[in-house]
């Protein structure tokens, strides 16, 4: 017990510290490894999530804004100044971009060849192009739309785990966990409701991501026939 004596009076004010975990889900009391484990299980069990921010992979920077769930995903990816949209429903993957995206620069100087490329690209402007499963780009592009693949790869912290400060991500109270004092990544985990991961700073300056709209469903609808082009076994190349 704490008793503070003041001249002429007895005061108990300030003797008991406020419990930082009062009204929370309690994960702030756990070790860093247990917090990471609980956050991973919460993410795995969620039906949907929105993932936005930047990812640096193999010296390339990607800006993502993807909505993901078990049966597929949809959203935009920007790389090298080019933005394209992805839509996956089951195994069916579609890519939509402007004509500049489809204009291939292979060093051609022949005016007719360039004109032919531009004409072909113009026909694909704003269309969903079906990505064949045998095309080399299918695996990489579909990975951007796969909730489990993205979260498994993104949420891992590297090195010795430690528990950091409490704070807020948006309006939600969070607890921070780090790998190798932040060099291996930093993850903010919700202290309210389920312990969802809400913000990730990837180790090695490999990007920062926000994870929002947990369990908020969204529609996935196949493009109409007049909005889609199917080239068969391979995407168009010049």
Tell me if 8 is assigned to some domain: no
Which pLDDT score, from 0 to 100, does residue 115 have? Answer: 65
Q: Give the residue numbers spanning the domain of 210.
A: 27-228
Q: How many other CB atoms are found less than 10 A from the CB of residue 212?
A: 16
Question: Residue 104, Cβ neighbours under 10 Å: how many?
Answer: 13
| 126 lies in some domain | yes
Residue 188 belongs to a domain: yes
Strands 82-89, 92-96: pairing kind = antiparallel
Confidence of residue 20 (pLDDT cuts 50, 70, 90): confident
Write out the two tokens for 116.
């032919």
Predicted local distance difference test score (pLDDT) of residue 91? 95
Task: Please tell me the least confidently modeled range out of 88-97, 121-130, 181-190, 221-230.
Answer: 121-130
What is the structure's pLDDT at 164? 94
Comparing 29 with 136, the larger pLDDT belongs to 29
Q: Note the pLDDT of residue 232.
A: 66
Cα angle vertex 184, ends 27, 155, to 5°? 55
The answer to whether residue 90 sits within a structural domain is yes
Band (pLDDT 50/70/90 cuts) for residue 224 is very high
**pLDDT higher than 60, residue 14:** no
**Residue 79 maps to a domain:** yes
Whether 68 is in a domain gets the answer yes
CATH code of the domain containing 207? 2.50.20.20
> How many structural domains are present in the chain?
1
Residue 5 lies in a domain: no
More confident residue, 132 or 119: 132
| Portion of the chain with pLDDT greater than 90, in percent | 62
pLDDT band at residue 70 using 50, 70 and 90 as cut-offs = very high
Residue 7 lies in a domain: no
* pLDDT attached to residue 125: 83
Q: Residue 235: what pLDDT? A: 63
SS (H, E, C) 151-219: HHHHCCCCCCEEEEEEEEECCEEEEEEEEHHHCCCEEEEECCCCCCEEEEECHHHCCEEEEECCCCCCC
State residue 231's pLDDT score: 72
């Amino acid at each position: 017990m704490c008793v503070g004596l003041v001249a002429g009076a007895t005061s108990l004010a300030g003797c008991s510290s406020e419990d930082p975990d009062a009204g929370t889900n309690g994960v702030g009391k756990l070790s860093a490894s247990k917090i990471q484990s609980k956050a991973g299980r919460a993410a795995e069990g969620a039906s949907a999530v929105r993932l936005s921010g930047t990812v640096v992979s193999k010296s390339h920077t990607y800006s993502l804004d993807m909505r993901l769930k078990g049966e597929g995903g949809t959203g935009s990816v920007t790389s090298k100044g080019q933005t394209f949209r992805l839509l996956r429903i089951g195994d069916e993957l579609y890519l939509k971009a402007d004509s500049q995206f489809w204009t291939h620069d292979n060093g051609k100087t022949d005016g007719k060849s360039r004109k032919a490329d531009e004409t072909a690209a113009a026909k694909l402007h704003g269309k969903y192009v079906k990505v064949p499963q045998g095309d080399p780009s299918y695996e990489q592009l579909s990975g951007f739309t796969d909730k489990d693949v993205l979260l498994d790869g993104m949420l891992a912290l590297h090195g010795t785990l430690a528990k950091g400060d409490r704070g807020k991500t948006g309006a939600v109270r969070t607890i921070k966990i780090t790998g190798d004092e932040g060099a291996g990544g930093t993850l903010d985990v919700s202290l309210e409701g389920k312990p969802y991961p809400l913000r990730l700073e990837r180790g090695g300056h490999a990007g920062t991501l926000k994870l929002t709209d947990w369990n908020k469903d969204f529609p996935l609808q196949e493009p109409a026939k007049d909005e889609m082009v199917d080239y068969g076994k391979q995407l168009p190349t010049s």
